Amino acid sequence: MELTTVWFALIAILWVGYLVLEGFDFGVGILLPVIGRTERERRVVINTIGPVWDGNEVWVLVAGGATFAAFPEWYATLFSGFYLPLFLILVGLIVRGVAFEFRGKRPEPSWRARWDLAIFFGSLLPAILWGVAFANIVRGVPIDAQHEFTGDLFTLLNPYGILGGLTTLVLFVTHGAVFLALKTRGDIRVRANRLAGRVGLVAAALAVVFLAWTQQLRGNPPSLLLSVAAAVALVGALAANRLGREGWAFVGSAATIALAVVALFAALFPNVMPSTTDPAYSLTTTNAASTSYTLSIMTVVAVIFTPLVVLYQGWTYWVFRRRIGVEQIPSDH
């Protein structure tokens, strides 16, 4: 197998890791004002992701860095053409991170309410825009012979792109609700479990339409098989959630997102950014790649350090695996 194909697959894995882990972060942030009815309940909701949210964001940094090093042409065209959506995603992530740190600095309800809104919108914006971005990458965008993006923001806001954004939004909300049900006890767990079932039905409908549309645009047998597997995983997650088996429900929702992302990459391959102007102008794993020497060095580094990162993050989740409830949240003084 060529190294260009290996690195295309590795970048897909990095995005799977990011969207699965950050996906429930986004969902929890969006659900903060819905699930948390009192201050102590809102603190419980935030504490479920408090030890892990910043570690989850590392995956997007690694994915972006790997894209820059392995496929510089892809990185240049993507980040110049999608500049505004990616900038808005960055703003959302920054605002959300600041909100997590600053929310507890003062006890006034108005202070905390403002930061709660920042967490909500800082989670909502990326949850939608990542779907819009990936949908347009798969669909294709206007690229000229110099591999430069020739569209604008409204080019990206097409029906397929908007559907992609709505699909990721409801999938992440479902994933976050399942995570909350898994990590909490009492009324919060009950409400999260109930909400996961309701939103999950909407997620299932949108995901089926989006993946079917993807199959019609750029589908192939592997992407079809992966799309069907994603649908089955989501049905399994909803069934497990209904039975109160939150652990299996979380596995199912995580598998749904992972399989859906891999299906998109499978539909995209061997392109990395198709051109709607002329297929000859499309960026592929071959014409967008770095030299074989660069890819070889990157492969050695990845083989050494990737298992260490995965083991460390797995250890973090193990340490903070217990359920929490309002009884563990002290009152403000």
Over residues 264-292, mean pLDDT: 91
Cα-atom radius of gyration of the chain, to the nearest Å? 20
Over residues 87-116, mean pLDDT: 92
Domain count, the chain: 1
Give the domain range for residue 176.
3-307
Q: What is the pLDDT confidence band of residue 120, given thresholds at 50, 70 and 90?
A: very high
Is 278 in a helix, a strand, or coil?
coil
Over residues 133-142, mean pLDDT: 93
How high is the pLDDT of residue 72?
Answer: 93
Q: Is residue 324 part of a domain?
A: no
Is 333 in a helix, a strand, or coil?
coil
pLDDT digits (tens, 9 = 90+) for 154-197: 888 899 999 999 999 999 999 999 999 999 998 999 999 999 99
Model confidence, pTM: 0.94
How high is the pLDDT of residue 133?
Answer: 93
Nearest alpha carbon to residue 126 among 96, 159, 104: 96
Q: Is residue 18 part of a domain?
A: yes
Q: What is the pLDDT confidence band of residue 105, given thresholds at 50, 70 and 90?
A: confident
Q: Concatenate the DSSP letters of all residues of 84-117 into one string.
A: HHHHHHHHHHHHHHHHHHHGGG---HHHHHHHHH
Q: What CATH number does residue 125 fall under? A: 1.20.1630.10
Q: What is the pLDDT confidence band of residue 125, given thresholds at 50, 70 and 90?
A: very high
Q: Is residue 80 part of a domain?
A: yes
How high is the pLDDT of residue 332?
Answer: 61
How high is the pLDDT of residue 235?
Answer: 94
Q: Is residue 321 part of a domain?
A: no
How high is the pLDDT of residue 1?
Answer: 60
**pLDDT at residue 326 greater than cutoff 90:** no
Q: Concatenate the DSSP letters of all residues of 189-237 into one string.
A: HHHHHHHHHHHHHHHHHHHHHHHHHHHHHH--HHHHHHHHHHHHHHHHH
Highest mean pLDDT, choosing among 18-27, 105-114, 320-329 = 18-27
Q: Is residue 283 part of a domain?
A: yes
How high is the pLDDT of residue 139?
Answer: 92
Q: What is the pLDDT confidence band of residue 54, given thresholds at 50, 70 and 90?
A: confident
Q: Is residue 327 part of a domain?
A: no
How high is the pLDDT of residue 313?
Answer: 87
Over residues 220-237, mean pLDDT: 94
Q: What is the pLDDT confidence band of residue 122, given thresholds at 50, 70 and 90?
A: very high
Average model confidence (pLDDT) across the chain? 92
How high is the pLDDT of residue 134?
Answer: 93
How high is the pLDDT of residue 123?
Answer: 95
Q: Concatenate the DSSP letters of all residues of 141-181 into one string.
A: B-B-TTS-B---HHHH-SHHHHHHHHHHHHHHHHHHHHHHH
**pLDDT at residue 293 greater than cutoff 60:** yes
